[in-house]
Amino acid sequence: MNVHGSFTGRERLLEGKAIREVDNGPLPERLSDALRYGPFHRALREAIEYRGLSLTRITAHLQRLGVKIGQSTLSYWQRGLRHPEVPRSIDTVRALETVLRLPPDSLVVLIGPRQRGRPDEVVPKFTEVSRVWQNATDLLTEFDVLPENKTNADLRIDAVHDYIQLGPHREQRTQTTRFVVTAARSGPDRYFATHGGDEGCLVDRIEITTAEGCRLGRVRRTPEKGVMAMEFLFDRRLSEGETHVFCFTITDGSGGPSPGMERTFLRGVGTYLVQHAFHRRALPSRVIRQFRTREGAEPVGIEGLVCGLGRVTSGYFTDLPAGMAAIQIEWP
């Protein structure tokens, strides 16, 4: 295909746009398997790699076909961090098939029947950011804040920043968390969170301190599970559309070597930054950033993080969908 000029060969019409038919000829085995079995992001990634086109070239070709899409969106699609929406993205995906010279509808069938429902059907009513919130439902019951309760759902999470300090024995000493939230409707005046310590953690000895934007309310602990639930009070009700920042620190140090950090997002979040500050006598051999759309799913967006002179690693996630963002630490 001439990547600088017009498409050649047979053409078909898609809502008035000229779309070139796929060239005849076998596809490589890896690409064929990906198109046959999916998932969508794997097939798209294999097709882009096989054709050797940059995202810049692909978006330029799509624009010539009258289809506008950002490079960042294509990047998220091929990494599995986002998924094309049906039916809005069908024309874009079909145009991608043309640009990548794939059989018609070979990518479209991998999108799946992801139709949008009503907002209350597709947005979980309880929004929690923690790796262990599922293990703390008995504690949340005491707060009357189960998934059926809409307490946290009235807050949209715009950004989360975790700053974690580790000690000389590879243990997690402190975790400072800062939230930026926006009220989806008038009324929310608190936030519920859960926390789980590393193996061996004495959860009944964990200290919780608050900084700007909140004060500590009720706290419930289950030492045998190593989990705790906390209530952070804003001391006023937020108005619809109002943005609020609050921060708290968890001090521990009783657990064993930390395996890293994982946060579960039941709804999408704008940005998530997680930093680990290592002790000079306990440096990691490797730190890995990754994302999974659900428990047991194949990790995507895998990236090794640099632990430089400041002994701090930074894992940065943007425009995350629902899923699990994780930092894995490997020790020597």
pLDDT at 25: 63
CATH superfamily, domain 11-111, is lambda repressor-like DNA-binding domains (1.10.260.40)
Provide CB contacts within 8 A for 247, sequence distance 6+. Answer: 176, 177, 178, 179, 210, 211, 212, 213, 214
Q: Which residue has the tokens 């950033």?
A: 289
> What b-and-e string marks burial along 103-117, b requiring 16 or more CB atoms within 10 Å of the CB?
eeebbbebbeeeeee
Q: 74 vs 113, which has greater pLDDT?
A: 74
Provide the CATH topology of domain 121-330: Immunoglobulin-like (2.60.40)
Using DSSP bridges, classify how beta strands 260-265 and 300-304 pair: parallel, antiparallel or unpaired: unpaired
Domain range summary for the chain, segments of one domain joined by + = 11-111, 121-330
pLDDT at 147: 44
pLDDT at 268: 79
Q: 19 vs 31, which has greater pLDDT?
A: 31
What's the token pair of residue 214? 């909140």
Residue 153 corresponds to which amino acid? A
pLDDT at 7: 32
User: Side-chain half-sphere of 248: how many Cα atoms within 13 Å?
Assistant: 20
Instruction: Tell me the C-alpha distance between 77 and 84, whole Å.
Output: 7
Poorest-pLDDT segment among 13-22, 132-141, 229-238: 13-22
Q: 126 vs 253, which has greater pLDDT?
A: 253
pTM here is 0.62
Whether pLDDT at 87 is above 60: yes
Write out pLDDT tens, residues 225-241. 888 888 899 989 999 89
Provide CB contacts within 8 A for 25, sequence distance 6+. Answer: none
